Chains A and B, each alone.
Chain A
Amino acid sequence: MRSGDAVTTARTALLVAGKDLRIEWASRVAVNQVLPFSIIVMVMFAFALDRLPGVPGLEDTILETVAPGLVWLATLFSLLILVQRSFGVEADDGALDALRVAGVEPAALFWGKTLALVAQLAVLELLLLLTALVLYGTSVRPSGVLLLVVTWIAATFGLAAVGTLYGGLAVGTRGRETLLPLLVLPVVAPVLIGATRAVEAALGTGGTELADGWPWLGVVGVFAVAFGAGGTLAFGPLIDE
């Protein structure tokens, strides 16, 4: 690819991302439905897990202990809905075909949709973390902020890339609503494991050392790079009809 093409690809990707975000902003589905859904999931977790009966001194700490994992689980559930939504708007009226006919490169399309998902997920995760601070009694320590922020960025990119890749796979076919979780959840397991441990270290959950978190960030980072590259290459053959 020539360098001029890379610039065009990046510019097209930003245009696609802008288009997706404007659609979201106009329809308010993410704000009015996905966000309340993720908050109610956090509340349901609290109903299911709030006490550890019979362990003196630890009775009320279980939610605080598992908070990082719950934040990421709620993120994964919301990711599935956001991906359905992201490709739902493309399937209507053959919008995806129109984009392809208009000469939009698959790589630009992939990155555009990924970036739009990144923006939505990033906001959602931040609000989920705030929810955990309020509802679960979690607290952020100043020394962990850097690890927290880097994990937040890397995990969001990884999740958005996988979501876009597998969302594009089943676009416009029957049964994709039920297929997407089956495909996506096993793939994002490394992000759930890595990001949960990294956030535990950043928050100091259960006395975890901050230094323990960085290798876990490595897992998440490698994952994001692998699926970013994989998506760039594979998205064309996937959506090409």
Chain B
Amino acid sequence: MASDTGTGTRATRLLGAAALVGVAWLLAFGLGFSPRDRDQAESVRLLYVHVPSAWLAYLAFIVTAVASALYLFRRQHSLGWDRLAGASAEVGVLFMAITLVTGALWGRLTWGVFWEWDARLTTTAFLFVTYVGYLAVRRLGGTHEQRARRSAVLALLAVLEIPLVHWSVRLWRSLHQEATVARPDGDVKMDGLMLFTLFVGIVAFTLIYAWLVIHRQRTLAAEDALDDRGLDAAIASRRADAEAVG
């Protein structure tokens, strides 16, 4: 812990500043310098939020899975890995929600509907629900070790579940008619400046992700420490009571 008053350190403050600069760049390029799209006009600017947040959500869930595996299979069973997994999943759920909302808005503008029963959309929605469930399991209670083991196993089961869901949903869609509206990924010929703006978006969102996860991980560590201290205090007061009676 850096100080008694917050979870910030010199390094995270630098990281936060870099993230702010990245966001400012993204705003300038996303809303200003990058061109309108020939077909999608201004709505193409949703791309610079939608794609980076989707990308970061996937990264976050991969980090959760890896950290969970490290918790379970390393001999020390360090709670640090567990808290990293939890922090990353929380931030991942946030980014996934941003992805779904911006995707629905964009879909309304380009396809005419908020939701399309497309394989990738459906899998994304399942991914979101799965990690909402994962976060609920983290709050089930019990000792820190119980929480860590339960949620680590769950995160690894999600690695088993998600490909199965994706596979079955893809098969499911193949029975129905192909989407007749233009796919955003199919026909967007990426302009150089658009591609650069997207790149700026990914860098900015990655910095935000790192900043959020580090802070959240430290908050979780502080919460765990507070729990432990509360337990120690309760035991001490019971002992004192017992001695006073005895």
* A contact set with B: CB distance below 8 Å: 165, 169-170, 173-176, 179, 182-183, 186-187, 189-190, 193-194, 197, 215-216, 219, 222-223, 226-227, 230, 234, 237-238, 240-241
Contact = CB atoms under 8 A, between A and B. Distances in A.
Contacts of B133: 179, 182-183, 186
B137 interface: yes
Contacts of B142: 173
Contacts, number: 78
Interface stretch (B14-22, B162-170, B215-223): B162-170
B136 A182 contact: yes
Contacts of A189: 126, 165, 168-169
Nearest to B161: A187
B137 A234 contact: no
B172 to A, nearest CB: 5
Contact of B137 (A183, A197, A227, A230): A183
A170 B137 contact: yes
Given A173-B141, A179-B137, A186-B130, A237 B149 contact: yes
A176 B150 CA distance: 13
Interface in B101-152: 126, 129-130, 132-133, 136-137, 140-142, 146, 149-150, 152
B72 interface: yes
| A-B residue pairs, 6 tightest by C-beta | A190-B168, A173-B140, A183-B133, A182-B133, A186-B129, A193-B168
Given A169-B137, A186-B133, A197-B175, A240 B149 contact: yes
Interface of B: 72, 126, 129-130, 132-133, 136-137, 140-142, 146, 149-150, 152-154, 156-157, 160-161, 164-165, 167-169, 171-172, 175
Given A219-B171, A226-B164, A238-B149, A186 B140 contact: no
A230 B168 CA distance: 18
Contacts of B146: 241
A187 B161 CA distance: 6
Contacts of A170: 137, 140
Contacts of B72: 237
A174 B141 CA distance: 8
Nearest to A194: B168
B72 to A, nearest CB: 7
A183 B140 CA distance: 13
Contacts of A197: 172, 175
A190 B167 contact: yes
Nearest to B128: A186
18 contacts: A169-B137, A169-B154, A173-B140, A174-B141, A176-B140, A179-B137, A179-B140, A182-B133, A183-B133, A186-B126, A186-B129, A187-B130, A193-B169, A216-B171, A219-B171, A227-B160, A230-B157, A238-B150
A175 B140 CA distance: 8
B156 A234 contact: yes
